Amino acid sequence: MPTATNPIPRPAAGVMGVVDEITFHMRLVITTAGAVDTANSWLPGGVTLVKTAATAGRYTITLPTAFERLLQVDVCPIGPDTAVYGANTTGYDAFIRRDNVTRTVNLAASTQTGDFKLQFTQTSYADAEVPDGLSYMITVKVARGKTF
């Protein structure tokens, strides 16, 4: 029987998929001056999304609990049909400011609260408010990990 000359390599981390991955789908709708439109925004049960006070374009998203690992956050804007999207001084791009979702190594002593901050920026990467009336689809993926 011939032996394989090109065996399939194993990934360096030893993981090809994530066991117990959970996905949270959200929709953020903005009214004016970055305020969250609570009537039209959509969040899954146990998730909250609030504007961070006195901070341009920053929102705190709190998941039901801390998880083993924050895997991915995707933010996709929903622009107007044909109108101008917004000035280049308004928030368009987004990044995560803090990961308070991923548990520490000692899971029993974890102080993570299950939240992270989503920061919107203008084209110069300065913090900026999102254009009035704009919507965003947000997808958050976490690894559930061990349960106690």
Q: Which residue ranges in the chain fall short of pLDDT 70?
A: 1-19, 86, 104-110, 146-148
Domain ranges of the chain: 21-143
Instruction: Please name the residues in contact with 110: beta carbons below 8 A apart, sequence gap of 6 or more.
Output: 66, 103, 104
Spatial separation of the C-alpha atoms in residues 129 and 96, rounded to whole Å? 15
- Is the pTM higher than 0.85? The answer reads no
Selection from 66, 61, 52 nearest residue 113 by Cα: 66
Could you give the dihedral angle defined by the CA atoms of residues 100, 104, 108 and 112, in that order, rounded to the nearest 10 degrees? -10
Dump pLDDT digits (tens) for 22-58.
999 999 999 998 999 999 999 998 999 999 998 999 9
Residue with tokens 């919507």: 135
